[in-house]
Amino acid sequence: MKIILIGINHAGTSALRTLLAQNSGHEVTAYDRNTNISFLGCGIALVVGGSAKNINDLFYCSPVKLEKQGAKVRMNHDVIAVDTEKKKITVRNLETGAVFEDSYEKLIYAAGSWPIEIPGIPKEHSSYKNIEICKLFQHAIELVKKADDPSIKTVAVVGSGYIGVELAEAYQKKGKKVTLIDFEPRVLARYFDKEFTLSLEEDIVKAGITLALGQKVVDYKGENGSVTEIVTDKGSYQADLVIQCIGFKPNTELLPDAKKVKGGALIVDEFMRTSIPDIYAIGDAAAFYHAATETHQQVALATNAVKSGIVAASNINGNSAVKLSSVAGTNAICVFENRLAGTGLSEGMAARLGLDAAASFIEDNDRPEFMENYSKTRIKIVYDKKSLRLLGAQIGSYGNTNHTEVIYYLSLAIQQRLTLLDIAFTDVYFLPHFNKPFNFVLASIMKALGLDYYKN
């Protein structure tokens, strides 16, 4: 079978490996406009801050490895058109400028996403030097270089999502004076509720970072072609370096007739098939079925990218047992000694969606107090008031112990539409070395059911 793949980062690499591991007889050609693949962008802040020493360690595959497996890999090639009726694509070789066509029987669309630009900034100001985005290996090289540049003393990070908070910490570790800006009133507002973000904000401020929340960036100021100041609707802040990380937009313009969600991601079924016959969408370009919202939406995570690539390739190879029926948006972050994990919906997000939801929050020690050492743990569960179906969970670990991996089985509970009662009677162990007789998950459920045995 002749298969074309557009985009070779996490999702595309996963799909290629799976296609050829299961069936080496395919004729597979992969195109990517970049010069490298498989770069773990989630590790950029670790390199910037010095926790990871070698940026090249963030690669886990290469075009050479994929070609040895049997794929034809065409880097520096930009797919500029897709003819879904004739099953042809038009490609431009970015090195030579030559334009040519290629045909397919099956097409896997893994074109990914791209950072959103801050709207309303005058074009002549947005082109100042030292205004950066964070996505690719090339961006990482610049961000690391600037972290080690003594002439850059002040850094403004726009966007307090995961990438923004991680970069703020990284540059603070490098001795920079950092300002973290967001139009939301809280950091990580789309992922965690105030029980987690308010204490995180306190730790951010203790570290010496300026928080400029509830503020919209409206302009940049500069001298000699370089940015010197960032202006919001409520003030201005010095900035020798600005990093924009306010979100990502899926690259789906090549398939204008496919069914998409409002943000532009391609709606896919459990096998990653789009509304166009013989075209699959994977990774950031796809809108998966979300188990908590029961709608399709883009959930741009490397974990989903890898899984979706395996599913699409397996389906092409005739294996219908492999499918991705839903996702829950499971995520985590480790910053300023706050280890946080979440899945499904926060209470705030459930309210935004108009769901009839309730929540239960517990802060407790993770082990019995008669043990020599124990650590503080927080959990919040969000559930449907009528059915008690779990809609979301958030976990915070503080101290020497990490409990965030508990989020895995709560994510599964959301995907399987389990209720609080189902989860409460999960067969778990008790051992004082690890937990309490009523562990923190069970305690939060009991509180939701009116059995709050942990009132202090």
State mean pLDDT over 242-253. 96
Q: Is there a single domain that holds both residue 73 and residue 221? A: no
User: Which of 285, 279, 280, 278 has the alpha carbon at shortest distance from 304?
Assistant: 285
The pLDDT of 312-331, averaged and rounded, is 97
Are both 104 and 207 inside the same structural domain? Answer: no
Whether 454 is in a domain gets the answer: no
Which of the residues are catalytic? Answer: 10, 42
Band of residue 359 on the pLDDT scale cut at 50, 70, 90: very high
CA distance 314 to 84: 22
Do both 237 and 187 map to the same domain? yes
* Residue 456 pLDDT > 60: no
- CB neighbour list of residue 12: distance below 8 Å, 6 or more residues apart: 5, 6, 30, 32, 37, 108, 110, 282, 283, 309
> Do 210 and 174 reside in the same domain of the chain?
yes
Q: Are 238 and 253 members of one domain?
A: no
In a domain, 163, yes or no: yes
pLDDT, tens digit (0-9, with 9 covering 90-100), for 104-154: 999 999 999 999 999 999 999 999 999 999 999 999 999 999 999 999 999
User: What is the pLDDT at residue 451?
Assistant: 86
- Residue 307 in any domain: the answer is yes
Which pLDDT band holds residue 445 (cuts at 50, 70, 90)? very high
Residue 233 forms part of a structural domain: yes
Q: Report if residue 7 sits inside a domain.
A: yes
Q: Which of 316, 350, 369 is the last residue of a domain?
A: 316
pLDDT band at residue 455 under the 50/70/90 scheme: low
Q: Based on the fold, state whether residues 294 and 260 are members of the same structural domain.
A: yes
CATH number for the domain that contains residue 412: 3.30.390.30
Distance CA 296, CA 96 (A): 40
353, part of any domain? yes
Asked if residue 334 is part of any domain, the answer here is: no
Please tell me the distance from the alpha carbon of residue 154 to that of residue 156, in angstroms, as a whole number. Answer: 7
Q: Taking each helix axis from N to C terminus, what angle separates 162-173 and 137-147, rounded to the nearest 10 degrees? A: 30
pLDDT band, residue 400 (cuts 50/70/90): confident
Distance CA 35, CA 77 (A): 9
d(Cα 120, Cα 101) in Å, to the nearest integer? 38
Same structural domain for residues 175 and 95? no
Instruction: Give the whole-angstrom CA distance, residue 55 versus residue 170.
Output: 14
Q: Is residue 332 part of a domain?
A: no
Per-residue pLDDT at 454: 61
- Phi, psi values for residue 101, rounded to 5°: -115, 155
Q: Is the pLDDT of residue 401 over 90?
A: no
| Residue 65: CATH number of its domain | 3.50.50.60
- CA nearest to 39, candidates 24, 27, 52, 21: 52
180 lies in the same domain as 237: yes
pLDDT in tens, 164-208: 999 999 999 999 999 999 999 999 999 999 999 999 999 999 999
DSSP3 helix / strand / coil % (the chain, rounded to 5): 25, 30, 40
| DSSP notation for 181-237 | EESSSSTTTTT--HHHHHHHHHHHHHTTPEEEES--EEEEEEETTEEEEEEETTEEE
- Token pair of 356, please? 């009839």
Same domain membership, residue 200 and residue 88: no
Number of domains present in the structure of the chain: 3
Residue 284 pLDDT:
97
Query: Could you report the per-residue pLDDT of 406-437, keeping only the tens digit for each?
Result: 999 999 999 999 999 999 999 999 999 999 99
CB crowding 425-440: b at 16 or more within 10 Å, else e: eeeeeeeeeebbebbb
- Measured between alpha carbons, how far is 102 from 89 in angstroms, rounded to an integer? 5
pLDDT of residue 169: 98
3-state secondary structure of 270: coil
Domain that holds residue 32: 2-114+248-316
Closest among 232, 246, 47 to 162, alpha carbons compared: 246
375 near 399, Cβ under 8 Å? yes
Overall average pLDDT of the 284-302 stretch: 97
Secondary structure string (H, E, C) spanning 11-71: HHHHHHHHHHHHCCCCEEEEEECCCCCCECHHHHHHHHHCCCCCHHHHECCCHHHHHHHCC
> In 10 A of CB 224, how many CB atoms?
7
Where b means 16+ CB within 10 Å and e means fewer, 254-287 reads: bbeebebbeeebbbbbebbbbebeebbbbbbbbb
Residue 372 has pLDDT above 90, yes or no: no
Three-state secondary structure call for residue 331? strand
Whether pLDDT at 443 is above 70: yes
Pairwise CA distance, residues 75 & 55, whole Å:
21
Statement to judge: residues 42 and 100 lie in one domain: yes
pLDDT per position as a tens digit, 64-99:
999 999 999 999 999 999 999 999 999 999 999 999
Final residue in a domain of this structure, among 228, 244, 260: 244
Take residue 361 and report the two structure tokens written for it: 């929050």
Residues 177, 268 share a domain: no
- Give the model's pLDDT for residue 399: 82
Domain final residue pick, 216, 244, 272: 244
What is the C-alpha separation between 223 and 68, in angstroms, rounded? Answer: 50
- 424 by DSSP, 3-state: which? helix
Do 91 and 159 lie in a common domain? no
Chain centre distance of CA 58: 16
